[in-house]
Amino acid sequence: MLNEDKVLARAAATAPRRLIGVGTLGGLGGLLIWLAVTEPPAQVIWQVFLIVLGVVALVMAWRMWQVTGREILLTEETLSDSSGAVIAHVADVVKVDRSAFALKPSNGFALTLREPGRRAWFPGLWWRIGRRVAVGGVTAARDTKPMADILSVMLMRRDGRLPPADE
């Protein structure tokens, strides 16, 4: 596991955002199933569709509840979550993007990697598709903004755009 002394920044889901995110997904799932049962469409295929969609939303809400109990941790070497899952190696990060028009979650940031990684999705916390990684969602901006800034400075030092920290 991680040595706590080496953690440069951490980000976690805030309780209100976590409850709102999970509650919204769970509410949507319940509403779709309720609609399918109380006001069934004329064709059975649409009723089945509503039920399946409702179950999917409930499963996603459960998954979000499980995942958002974790923290995102930044060390000199990796960006990972508290379960030990490596989100990205710092050496593989090409770009950090926090701009308003970036494809990123709420209160988060996006990374571009040198090499594509395995597809992963942890709803409300982070996702990775190919060379794109996005961090955030139900996390607080007070946590993710400094994390993205620290990561940006690490990249600038690595690329020689800033002097080393010990100078």
My answer on whether 105 and 140 are in the same domain is yes
Give me the number of domains the chain comprises.
2
- Asked whether residue 162 carries a pLDDT value surpassing 80, the answer given is no
Q: Are residues 46 and 123 in the same domain?
A: no
Residues 51 and 89 in one domain: no
- Range of the structural domain that residue 17 is part of: 11-67
Mean pLDDT of the chain: 90
Enumerate residues 6+ apart whose C-beta is below 8 A from 14: 138, 139, 140
Tell me, what's the pLDDT at 63? Answer: 95
Residue 102 resides in a domain: yes
Same structural domain, 124 and 75: yes
Same domain, residue pair 59 and 78: no
Lowest-confidence pick of 20-34, 57-71, 145-159: 145-159
Quickly count: other Cβ atoms within 10 Å of residue 31's Cβ.
13
Q: Does residue 96 belong to any structural domain of this protein?
A: yes
In this prediction the pTM is: 0.81
In a domain? residue 134: yes
- pLDDT at 165 > cutoff 70: no
User: Is 163 part of any domain?
Assistant: no
| Tens digit of each residue's pLDDT (9 = 90 or more) over 114-142 | 999 899 999 999 999 999 999 998 998 89
Q: Tell me the CATH number at 147.
A: 2.30.29
